[in-house]
Chain A
Amino acid sequence: MARHFVRSEVLAARPAPRRPFDPIGWLSTNLFSSPLNIAATVLSVALIAKLLPPALDWAIFDAVWVGSSREACVGPGVGACWAFVWAKIGQFIHGHYPVGERWRVDLFFVLFAAGLIPMAIPRVPFKRLNAVYLILALPLVSLLLLYGGVFGLRVVPTSQWGGLLVTIIVAAVGIATSIPLGILLALGRRSKMPVIRMLSIAFIEFWRGIPLITVLFMSSVMLPLFLPPGVDFDKLLRALIGIALYASAYMAEAVRGGLQSLPRGQYEAAGSLGLGYWPTMRKVILPQALRVSIPGIVNTAIALLKDTSLVIVIGLFDLLGIIQSNFADSNWASPATPATGYIFAALVYWVMAFAVSRYSLFLERRLDVGRRH
Chain B
Amino acid sequence: MSQTLAREQGAMPPPMSDVAIEMRGVNKWFGDYHALRDIDLTVKRGERIVICGPSGSGKSTLIRTINGLEPHEQGRIVVDGIELTSELKKIDEVRRDVGMVFQHFNLFPHLTILENCTLAPVHVRGVPQKQAEETAMHFLRRVRIPEQANKYPGQLSGGQQQRVAIARALTMNPRIMLFDEPTSALDPEMVKEVLDVMVSLAQEGMTMLVVTHVMGFARQVADRVIFMDAGQIVEMADPGTFFTDPKHERTRLFLSQILE
Q: Is B154's CB under 8 angstroms from A372's CB?
A: yes
Q: Is B110's CB under 8 angstroms from A291's CB?
A: yes
User: Closest approach, in angstroms, between the C-beta of B102 and any C-beta of chain A?
Assistant: 6
A284: chain B residues at CB < 8 Å are 108, 119
Select one of A269, A274, A372 contacting B102, CB under 8 A. A269
With A279-B123, A370-B152 in contact, do A266 and B106 touch (Cβ < 8 Å)?
yes
Select one of A271, A274, A283, A369 contacting B152, CB under 8 A. A369
A288: chain B residues at CB < 8 Å are 108-110
User: Closest approach, in angstroms, between the C-beta of A287 and any C-beta of chain B?
Assistant: 5
Q: How far apart are the CA atoms of A284 and B104 in the complex, in Å? A: 17
B53 at interface, CB cutoff 8 A = no
User: Please, how many residues of chain B have a CB less than 8 angstroms from a CB on the other chain?
Assistant: 29
B241 at interface, CB cutoff 8 A = no
A371 at interface, CB cutoff 8 A = yes
Q: Is A274's CB under 8 angstroms from B120's CB?
A: yes
Q: How far apart are the CA atoms of A271 and B154 in the complex, in Å? A: 21
Q: Tell me which residues from 256 to 291 in chain A have a Cβ below 8 Å from any Cβ of chain B.
A: 263, 265-266, 268-276, 279, 283-284, 287-288, 291
Q: Is A269's CB under 8 angstroms from B152's CB?
A: no
Binds A, one of B20-28, B93-101, B190-198, B210-218: B93-101
A270: chain B residues at CB < 8 Å are 108
Select one of B95, B153, B154, B155 contacting A274, CB under 8 A. B95
Q: How far apart are the CA atoms of A288 and B108 in the complex, in Å? A: 9
A128: chain B residues at CB < 8 Å are none
Q: Is A269's CB under 8 angstroms from B107's CB?
A: yes
Q: C-beta contact mask, A339-373 vs B, less than 8 Å → 1, else 0? A: 00000000000000000000000000000011111
A268: chain B residues at CB < 8 Å are 69, 100, 102, 106
Q: How far apart are the CA atoms of A332 and B123 in the complex, in Å? A: 65
Q: How far apart are the CA atoms of A302 and B153 in the complex, in Å? A: 34
Q: Is B123's CB under 8 angstroms from A275's CB?
A: yes
Q: Considering the complex, give the chain B residue whose CB is closest to the CB of A262.
A: B109
User: Closest approach, in angstroms, between the C-beta of A144 and any C-beta of chain B?
Assistant: 39
B92 at interface, CB cutoff 8 A = yes
B165: chain A residues at CB < 8 Å are 269
Q: Is A373's CB under 8 angstroms from B154's CB?
A: yes
Q: How far apart are the CA atoms of A275 and B165 in the complex, in Å? A: 15
User: Closest approach, in angstroms, between the C-beta of A174 and any C-beta of chain B?
Assistant: 28
B108: chain A residues at CB < 8 Å are 266, 269-270, 284, 288
With A265-B104, A283-B119, A369-B152 in contact, do A274 and B92 touch (Cβ < 8 Å)?
yes
Q: Is B69's CB under 8 angstroms from A272's CB?
A: yes
B69: chain A residues at CB < 8 Å are 268, 271-272
A283: chain B residues at CB < 8 Å are 119, 123
Q: Is A287's CB under 8 angstroms from B119's CB?
A: no
Q: Considering the complex, give the chain B residue whose CB is closest to the CB of A278.
A: B123
User: Please, how many residues of chain A have a CB less than 8 angstroms from a CB on the other chain?
Assistant: 23
Q: How far apart are the CA atoms of A316 and B69 in the complex, in Å? A: 54
A373: chain B residues at CB < 8 Å are 154-155
Q: Is A370's CB under 8 angstroms from B169's CB?
A: no
B98: chain A residues at CB < 8 Å are 272
Q: How far apart are the CA atoms of A275 and B171 in the complex, in Å? A: 13
Q: How far apart are the CA atoms of A131 and B109 in the complex, in Å? A: 26
Report which residue of B69, B123, B172 has the largest number of chain A beta carbons within 10 angstroms of its beta carbon. Answer: B123
User: Closest approach, in angstroms, between the C-beta of B211 and any C-beta of chain A?
Assistant: 14
Q: Is A276's CB under 8 angstroms from B110's CB?
A: no
Q: Is B99's CB under 8 angstroms from A272's CB?
A: yes
B168 at interface, CB cutoff 8 A = yes
B82 at interface, CB cutoff 8 A = no
Q: How far apart are the CA atoms of A317 and B258 in the complex, in Å? A: 77
Q: Considering the complex, give the chain A residue whose CB is closest to the CB of B151.
A: A373
Q: C-beta contact mask, B226-242 vs A, less than 8 Å → 1, else 0? A: 00000000000000000
B207 at interface, CB cutoff 8 A = no
With A370-B154, A372-B155 in contact, do A273 and B109 touch (Cβ < 8 Å)?
no
B199 at interface, CB cutoff 8 A = no
B16 at interface, CB cutoff 8 A = no
A291: chain B residues at CB < 8 Å are 110
User: Closest approach, in angstroms, between the C-beta of B96 and any C-beta of chain A?
Assistant: 4
User: Closest approach, in angstroms, between the C-beta of A254 and any C-beta of chain B?
Assistant: 18
With A370-B109, A370-B111 in contact, do A273 and B120 touch (Cβ < 8 Å)?
yes
Q: Is A273's CB under 8 angstroms from B168's CB?
A: yes
User: Closest approach, in angstroms, between the C-beta of A297 and any C-beta of chain B?
Assistant: 17
Q: Considering the complex, give the chain B residue whose CB is closest to the CB of A291.
A: B110
Q: Is B109's CB under 8 angstroms from A371's CB?
A: yes
Q: Is A279's CB under 8 angstroms from B104's CB?
A: no
Q: Considering the complex, give the chain B residue whose CB is closest to the CB of A192.
A: B88
Q: Considering the complex, give the chain A residue whose CB is closest to the CB of B155.
A: A373
User: Closest approach, in angstroms, between the C-beta of B254 and any C-beta of chain A?
Assistant: 27
Q: Tell me which residues from 85 to 135 in chain B have a Cβ below 8 Å from any Cβ of chain A.
A: 92, 95-96, 98-100, 102, 104, 106-111, 119-120, 123-124
Q: Is B124's CB under 8 angstroms from A273's CB?
A: yes
Please, could you name 20 A-B residue pairs with CB atoms under 8 Å apart, sorted by A? A268-B100, A268-B106, A269-B100, A269-B107, A271-B68, A272-B69, A272-B95, A272-B99, A272-B102, A272-B169, A274-B120, A274-B172, A275-B119, A276-B124, A287-B110, A288-B108, A288-B110, A369-B110, A370-B152, A373-B155
Given A266-B106, A283-B123, 12 new contacts (CB under 8 A): A263-B106, A268-B69, A268-B102, A268-B106, A271-B68, A271-B69, A272-B67, A272-B98, A279-B123, A283-B119, A284-B108, A370-B111
The 8 A-B residue pairs with the shortest CB-CB distance in the complex, in nearest-first order: A269-B106, A273-B120, A265-B106, A272-B100, A370-B110, A370-B109, A274-B95, A274-B96
User: Which residues on B are within 8 Å of A, measured CB to CB?
Assistant: 67-69, 92, 95-96, 98-100, 102, 104, 106-111, 119-120, 123-124, 152-155, 165, 168-169, 172
